[in-house]
Structure 1
Amino acid sequence: MSERFPTLAGLIAPHSLQHFLEHHWEREHLHVLGRPDEARASLVSLEAVDAMLTTRVNRHPDVSVVNATHPVEPEDYTDGEDLVDPIRVARLFAAGGTIIINNLDQYSPRVRALVSQLEAELRVHAQANLYLTPGGAQGFAAHYDSHDVILVQVIGQKQWRLYDSPKGLPMRGERFDPAATKPGERTAELLLQPGGVLYIPRGLMHDAVAVDDGPSMHVTIGLHAFRWSEVLLESLAAQAIVDPDLRAGLPLGALRSDASVDALREAMRARVDRLIDAMRWDDVSPRLLAQFDRDHKEHLPGLMIDAVTPITAETVFARRGGVHAEVALDGEALVLTVDGRSTRWPAAVAPMLTAALTHEGPFRMADLGDDLDDPGKLTLLRRLLGEGAVSIAR
């Protein structure tokens, strides 16, 4: 199973990926102990974050500041047009505020690569945010998120507290209401150190405090998996296109108090039964995959350089990570789809195309077989470079 999801497996190692999927995903937290020398601890540096905050033009909510004990408003660190003032951000940070950089994957190539690879492997949307908290401070009161999160501690230490939660698996985008939802009894308390990872399923209430004199910095990767409710809604939408009864309006007067409730219940049940009989996973999955491809965060470093680099029989290539590439037969032609963009290829190149897209590690032209002559192989590889499916190894 680790072969299917190697990036996720690397994040939770040495824990078993199968155990995580069977016992933790959407069920229970998982704490992965870390060491400062682990690669996870160098995901992003404090110097790089400082540069993001001080050398770019930032707007709210791309950058925001929060404080669990002293409420902070956007007006406290922005001008009248949502432009972030780094001087005021620094003052709020020194006073105990937590700085948040949303969509960190848009600014950090390394984080972008991680997010892109997770998306391509899991076929879920992912987003990375960064949280920088001064020692002894707390950004948020106890709350839950409406999506699953994987936290990677980069600098400093943070004490996390988990609580018995009254809300299980909230809907996508369901906002946490502190007045309506209170944390239950504390169920776990753990210390996240550099290189450490914490998985928190959606709906599990939690809070955290930076525990030492120096700042704490962690990256949160939100995983937005499709829900079964969304699958059923997609099925309903697809069936309504071909079933006039599902598009029909309610009988006039159906909402009156004197309407025939039994008849309406029977009519609704008949439509539900017919919908269940017509539902097919194969009808819905292409629509969900199209949604995923449309929003997938591509990571294509070197694409522009590859476009103008001469290639020869000695050029070393590599399958590009973080892209979603599939090959399908359409009549007498092949259709290659890379992150939602489709191109047609002669069916005769199927073995070489498959070899290039599945090859583990670097490869040269000669490693793809003998179905084409050398000029044909170079043409195929040049097209794959242009589609972003492979890259020149450097």
Structure 2
Amino acid sequence: MLPRRLHWPAGLDASRFLADYWQRRPLLLPGAFAGIGSPIEPDELAGLACEPEVEARIVQEHGAQRPWQVSHGPFDESVFAALPETHWTLLVQDVDKHVPAVAGLLACFDFLPEWRLDDIMVSWAEDGGSVGPHLDQYDVFLVQVQGWRRWRIDTRPSPPADCVPDLDLRLLKHFQPDADWLLGPGDVLYLPPGVPHWGIAEGPCMTWSVGLRAPAWRELAADWLQYAVDALTGDGRWRDPPSAAPPDEPAALPMTLPGTMRAHIDQILAGADEGLFRRWLGCYLTEPKPNIALLPPDPPGRGRRS
């Protein structure tokens, strides 16, 4: 059973959380989702990881010679049968897109803009399972759904971010935690971007990671410029000026060429008004991931398509 709302500790509400903690410092929320139950069982999660359209990983810890190894799905069922009893984790992205019942938890985060909610990643770990010490470049709420997981966190400002070379994962080379929290069912841990953390399963456990979208500026700029260019340039091409004369040095660029070209490009981009930008932004923020296929809604009065 999924909760209908997030329960804040005494003296804290959504407004104070946003003012004092959001993108500033970690926060443990004991019992925030008390009584939570998972609508998806571990076997069903493993079955989902075998589907070609689902993004999934298995992370195993092998010891000193190869501390962590990651394998990417889709997986064959035989892979799960061959896994050891301990020290491995299955992670499945976008479970909220594939299991509508899981998506219901996102309604509990209505104190955040909806466009910022990216996905719910569900992980199942056997005893000792982890993905190693790492940091994320986005906000995340770690919801403990089944079992127990111990989180160690480095809350210092500007912690070192160097990674161990020659590993399958981006794991921190220097990890010095100063907080240690054991989460049980219903507990939630909020982590801002850039906070080093390491979660280790104490017995079999299931954790849901509610990840927030944080697009990089270079990605936004590149996509916007391509959209504007496609919308505004049409089929026009370069044309020499009417007064063109034979060049003195055919291999040399004319001194006026860079200025002429830049002026024309600037003129094109100047036509990108706020309306065009808003249309692009709406398209960008609602574009599904490449592996996510969205079906149109059923017409009124008709059943689901077979």
TM-score bracket for the superposition, by shorter chain length: 0.5 to 0.7
What is the Cα-based RMSD across aligned positions, in Å? 4.9
Counterpart in the other structure of 1:191: 182
- Measured after TM superposition, the shift of residue 147 of structure 1 is 2.7
Secondary structure of the residue that 2:287 maps to in structure 1? helix
The answer as to 2:12 corresponding to 1:23 is no
The correspondence for 2:136, drawn from 127, 138, 145, is 145
SS state of the match for residue 66, structure 1?
strand
In structure 2, the partner of 1:85 is 77
Cα distance in 2 for partners of 1:176, 1:23 equals 32
Per-residue CA deviations over 1:274-316 (Å, capped at 9, x if unaligned) read 999999766533312212223298999xx6595249xxxxxxx
Shift of 1:195: 0.6
Alignment of 1:35-74 (within 5 A): 38-39=34-35, 41-45=36-40, 48-53=41-46, 57-58=50-51, 62-70=55-63, 71-72=68-69, 74=71
Q: How does 1:286-305 map to 2 (within 5 A)?
A: 286-295=279-288, 304=298
Q: Displacement, 1:126?
A: 1.2
CA offsets 1:42-87 (integer angstroms, 9 cap, x no match):
1435xx2323435985459744321234444549xx8xxx54225x
Is 1:122–2:114 an aligned residue pair? yes
1:344-375 C-alpha deviation (Å, 9 max, x unpaired): xxxxxxxxxxxxxxxxxxxxxxxxxxxxxxxx
Deviation at 1:198, TM superposition (A): 1.2
Conservation of the 8 A alpha-carbon contact between 1:129 and 1:220: yes
Q: Are residues 26 and 110 of structure 1, via their aligned partners in 2, closer, same or farther at CA, if it must alter by over 3 Å? A: same
* TM-score normalised by the chain length of structure 1: 0.52
SS at match of 1:151: strand
**Larger deviation, residues 100-109 vs 199-208:** 100-109
Counterpart contact for 2:232–2:272, Cα < 8 Å: no
CA distance in structure 1 between the partners assigned to 2:84 and 2:144 by the alignment:
19
C-alpha displacement of 1:122:
1.9
1:221, CA displacement in angstroms? 1.6
Partners of 1:23 and 1:228 in 2: CA distance: 25
CA 1:193–1:236: 2 relative to 1, 3 Å: same
Change (3 A) 1:69 1:162: farther
Query: In 2, Cα distance between the equivalents of 1:65 and 1:149?
Result: 20
Whether the 8 Å contact between 1:60 and 1:74 is mirrored in structure 2 is no
Do the aligned partners of residues 277 and 56 (structure 1) sit closer, same or farther apart at CA in structure 2, a change above 3 Å counting?
A: closer
In the alignment, what sits opposite 2:243?
none
- Match 2:5 to one of 2, 7, 10: 10
Residue equivalent to 1:255:
none
From 201, 206, 209, the equivalent of 1:217 is 206
Identity over the aligned pairs, expressed in percent?
22
Q: How many residues align?
A: 269
After superposition, give the CA deviation of every residue in 1:171-226 in whole Å (9 maximum; x if it has no partner). xxxx9744xx5335323221211111112222221111123xx4111111211134
| CA separation of 1:160 and 1:198: change in aligned 2, threshold 3 A | same
Q: Runs of 5+ in structure 2 lacking a partner?
A: 162-167, 239-257
- Normalising to structure 2: TM-score of the pair? 0.64
Q: Is the 8 A contact 1:155 1:216 kept in 2?
A: yes
Higher relative contact order (CA 8 A, sep 6+): 2
Question: In structure 2, how many angstroms separate the alpha carbons of the residues matched to 1:55 and 1:103?
Answer: 11
Question: Structure 1 or 2: larger helix share?
Answer: 1
- Rounded to whole Å, the distance in 1 between the matches of 2:169 and 2:96 is 24
Q: C-alpha separation between the residues in 2 aligned to 1:201 and 1:176?
A: 20
SS at match of 2:178: strand
1:94 positional shift? 1.4
Match of 1:186, SS state, is coil
Give a deviation string over 1:3-33, Cα, whole Å, max 9, x none: xxxxxx9346344222232333332222111
Separation (CA, whole Å) in 1 of partners of 2:271 and 2:21: 33
Question: In the TM superposition, what is the alpha-carbon distance from 1:239 to its structure 2 partner?
Answer: 6.6
Q: Measure, in 2, the Cα distance between the counterparts of 1:144 and 1:281.
A: 36
Any conservation in 2 of the 1:63–1:100 contact (CA below 8 Å)?
Answer: yes
SS in 2 for 1:147: coil
Query: What does the per-residue CA deviation read over 1:100-147, in whole Å, with 9 as the maximum and x for residues that have no partner?
Result: 223222442221233488699521351222111223x03211111233
- Give the Å deviation of 1:35: 6.9
Q: Which runs of 5+ in 1 are unaligned?
A: 1-8, 168-174, 249-263, 310-394
Once residues 136 and 91 of structure 2 are traced to their aligned partners in structure 1, the CA distance between those partners, rounded to angstroms, is 16
Q: Is the 8 A contact 1:44 1:154 kept in 2?
A: no
